[in-house]
Amino acid sequence: MNNSEILKIAMEQSAIDANCNADDFLKPQNIIVESIKNPNARKYLDLPLACNLISYGTNIVASIDLEYKDIVEKYINKYNIEDCFETPSMYVLNKEFEKHNMQVCFMAEYFLPDVNFLSIKECKYEMRVLTQKDFSDLYLPQ
């Protein structure tokens, strides 16, 4: 895999999680979409979410409960992309959500590998790529 393929896969999964199109992350303007349940989303996400902001550096895609559209739209259009994910700007968003008995909760940063800097290291353990079948064989009763 190369860096472009890794980025494409990450954006495709984020698009499923956020209820948008993968190319929305590449648009020059911020995008707001409705957060909905999706059986293909990451299993630990409790969808729909009140507000989920995602950026791959070009813009912000906000997957939200549309009840909070005004709050989120003002917020993501007021600050620089990177500032929307940091304090003190995040306190502004938190203050608005407190009016609805909510607050900013989970923050996560994911970093994609750069294959140009990866190298094979010696390892005394067997290494292999597991498939869905391997997982099922390991964890599902026979």
Residue type, position 83, single letter: D
Distance between CA 89 and CA 57 in Å, rounded?
17
Contact in structure between 112 and 3 (CB atoms under 8 Å): yes
Where are the chain's structural domains?
A: 3-115
Is the model's pLDDT at 141 over the cut of 90? no
Question: Which is more confident, 51 or 118?
Answer: 51
Check pLDDT > 60 for residue 142: no
Each residue's pLDDT tens digit, 50-67? 999 999 999 999 999 999
| Residue 68 predicted with pLDDT over 70 | yes
List pLDDT tens digits, range 20-42: 999 999 999 999 999 999 999 99
